[in-house]
Amino acid sequence: MPLPLNPKSKIRLEKFATEGNPPYNFSQNPKLKRVVIGVGGGIAAYKVCELVSTLFKTGVEIRVILTRSAQEFIKPLTLATLSRHPAYTDDDFWQPTHSRPLHIELGEWADVLVIAPLTANTLAKLAYGMADNLLTNTVLASTCPVLLAPAMNTDMWEQIAVQRNWQQLLTDSRYHGVDTASGLLACDRVGAGRMAEPPEILVYIQSLLHTQGKRDLAGKKVLISAGGTREYLDPVRFIGNPATGKMGLALAQAALHRGASVTLVHGPANWDVPLGVQAIPVVSAEQMQQVMQEYLANADVIVMSAAVADVKPRDYSTEKLPKRSLPQVLPLEPVPDIVAQLAQLKQPHQLLIGFAAQTGDIIKPALEKLQSKKLDAIVANPIDQPETGFGSDLNQAIFLDKQGRQVEIAPCSKLQMAHQLFDFVKSF
């Protein structure tokens, strides 16, 4: 993690912000991830504050560039304070430096470059390779992945020229786009053009830092199950488990960011579906089975990360049962074994990956499941370790495959584990 500012550096930052004296310093720890964030002129610029603040807390080094129009919405001092480094403007671009031009230094320094909000004006410049300010010159002076988060009025976003520029830019493998959302815009219009929220942009940045922008799942269709299922006794009581679907969500995000077409079949969840993911909500194991089998034929990779119930009440009451009417012994019956059925139906070119949530010895039962259900790979998941498993933002596991490979994954974010799983299976 970057060290807090010492008094001298804080004084230097305040001096820079007020007098425009740019202390270009690119000699930080080379092991830290480096992100340059370009801020365009739009009301969505205020969202960048949350993005910068969160990135810094995760240990990422940040440099911020503001266009002239961006400064009408947000001040350089705000982003300089949040990033713990002076924010750059066009005034810095045209000043002589101590060594090399600023846009060259920034372009070579960055591991990922982000533009949020991306305006129609900057989009057009990038689409045609134009560079007339610090931000666009830095883009052309860099070779790292560029993440674009557009934001504009619905009519502007839907213009033929704007959509042509957007699609043209995304044909360049360097550029990655976060789809716009629909909702209430600052102009009081309700429609498309709303910038993606900071958490979604942050996840995409983390993916790009892992993959370095490679789309190694491009052209692939990935089918993922997530979350727990619920088997109801009556309208208010059910047999279930504490699965939240966060692991499946991370798998969907990772696959999407690596270029895949993603279908996510999930149980009841308390999170937003990523833009660009086809999501199909279900409740029971039977419903999940039906949807997974319906979409199986078109999938290249199937990841069964859902925590499916093993049994369900034999009888269901359409009305809530009075407490006195609840059975002392609840008759149960098994639910469909979804992953075993998928294994029987899958074709040789398809990969089927299962999950095994276990306590104690996790390898033996995972190997038994791998073999008995004829899976290509399985994730042995300890759920009795602190800060991992159900509901946690972190996870740890051992990956096993039918060739006998075993790879231990130390505790990490579920997004990191998702990417490591795709790294593991892409060599099949």
Rounded to whole angstroms, the Cα distance separating 263 from 201 reads 20
Contacts of 37 (CB under 8 A, 6+ apart): 48, 51, 52, 55, 62, 63, 64, 65, 79, 113, 114, 115, 116
| Residue 412 annotated to the active site | no
Residue 373 known to bind ligand? yes
Asked whether residue 374 is marked as a ligand-binding residue, the answer is: no
In the sheet with 394-401, reading across from the earlier edge strand, the strands are 278-281, 261-266, 221-226, 301-304, 351-358, 377-382, 394-401, 406-413
335 marked as binding residue: no
Q: Annotation-wise, does 338 bind a ligand? A: yes
Residue with tokens 């990417």, as numbered in its chain: 419
38 SS3 class: strand
310 labelled ligand-binding: yes
132 is in an annotated binding site: no
Q: What is the identity of the amino acid at 45?
A: A
**Could you tell me the two tokens for 245?**
């679907």
3-class secondary-structure state, position 35: strand
| DSSP code string of 66-127 | E-TTGGGTS-HHHHHHHHTSPPB-HHHHTS--SSS-HHHHHHHH-SEEEEEEEPHHHHHHHH
Length of the chain measured in residues: 428
Alpha carbon distance 392, 54 (integer Å): 19
Active-site residue identified among 49, 144, 187, 412: 187
How many other β-carbons are positioned within 10 Å of the β-carbon of residue 427? 8
Q: In this structure, which amino acid lies at residue 368?
A: E
> Other C-beta atoms within 10 Å of 150: how many?
28
CA distances from residue 273 to 29, 149, 282, 407, 417 in whole angstroms, order as listed: 35, 17, 14, 29, 19
Q: Which two tokens stand for residue 225?
A: 């199950």
Helix spans in 214-317 (H): 246-257, 285-296
Catalytically active residues are 187
- Annotated binding site for CTP: which residue ranges? 310, 320, 336-339, 355, 369, 373
- Annotated binding site: which residue ranges? 310, 320, 336-339, 355, 369, 373
